[in-house]
Structure 1
Amino acid sequence: MNRNDEWCFACGRDNPIGLKLDFREENDTYISTFTPGPEHQGYGGIMHGGLVSTLLDEIMARYLYAKGLTAVTAKLEVRFRHPTPIGQELRICGWITGQRGKMYELAGNISLPDGTVTAEGKATVAVKGDE
């Protein structure tokens, strides 16, 4: 990780207000967990939709980064299926669904401990440079 990446809002360790996500790969799926607190809410008891989108963006684009590629999100679509509650551990998953040249298609979702999917995402992610 580049030293400046330690300030990443989603995964950076030096960002005092960041989410500080950790990641692992299992069976071609990139996974993280996060428990939102009251500082992450929009309406009372419900996680802010922009932060839900941030979690999905991070799990998808960062999966390519974990594979040694420098990539940026070119397009992000989020489908909110259920309110994402504050105070419950969320499972965030992302996986690659296709590739055309330097453009990757990824999908992801956020689920609750009971398996309820609260949000789904699709992303087109562009690999930068000569990689």
Structure 2
Amino acid sequence: MSFNCFVCGRENPKGLKLNIQLKDGFTYAEFSLDKDYEGYPGIIHGGIIAAILDDIMANVKFLEGYILYTVELDIRYLKHCLVDQRLFAYGYQKDIKHNIFYAYGEIKDESGEIKATGFGKYFIKGVYK
């Protein structure tokens, strides 16, 4: 299935095209963004970081075949994510209650320092597979 998703869609010419992978129940993606995505000079815009965290968390279930929608998103910016910096995003399942999926995500640099974290709450609508 292909999507025009801004974060992970391969068909979106203006998107980030992150290659989000699912392995052993968690998601991950490696990325580096240029100055087209900066807020303050040299720093990736916080909204872009939030979008990446939202997608990396939702894909924990989406890549298993579920359709889900973001209900709540809580982002903590701990350190600046810099333009052209090699970064890694991770998403983890925390819980599922009824049709609500709870997830945790983080973005780290090459040294393992956590740059931003996210907690997400998603409504599971159904399955697409």
TM-score, structure 2 length as denominator? Answer: 0.94
Equivalent pair of 2:66/2:127 in contact (CA under 8 Å): no
Q: Distance in 2 between matches of 1:46 and 1:54?
A: 15
Instruction: Please tell me whether residue 12 in structure 1 is matched to residue 9 in structure 2.
Output: yes
Instruction: Please tell me whether residue 63 in structure 1 is matched to residue 60 in structure 2.
Output: yes
Instruction: Please tell me whether residue 93 in structure 1 is matched to residue 96 in structure 2.
Output: no
Q: Residue 11 of structure 2 aligns to which amino acid in structure 1?
A: D
Equivalent pair of 2:5/2:12 in contact (CA under 8 Å): yes
TM-aligned CA deviation for residue 106 of structure 1 = 0.2
Q: Which runs of 5+ in 1 are unaligned?
A: none
Calculate the aligned-residue CA RMSD, in Å.
1.4
Q: Percent identity?
A: 30
Q: Deviations over 1:22-42 (max 9, x none)?
A: 122233221011101010100
Q: Deviations over 1:1-35 (max 9, x none)?
A: 2x4x1x11111111111000112223322101110
Moved more, 76-85 or 24-33: 24-33
TM-score, structure 1 length as denominator? Answer: 0.92
Instruction: Please tell me whether residue 127 in structure 1 is matched to residue 124 in structure 2.
Output: yes
Match of 1:42 in 2: 39
Query: Higher strand fraction: Structure 1 or Structure 2?
Result: 2
Query: Higher helix fraction: Structure 1 or Structure 2?
Result: 1
Number of aligned residue pairs: 128
**Which structure 1 residue ranges, 4+ long, deviate > 2 Å from structure 2?**
25-28
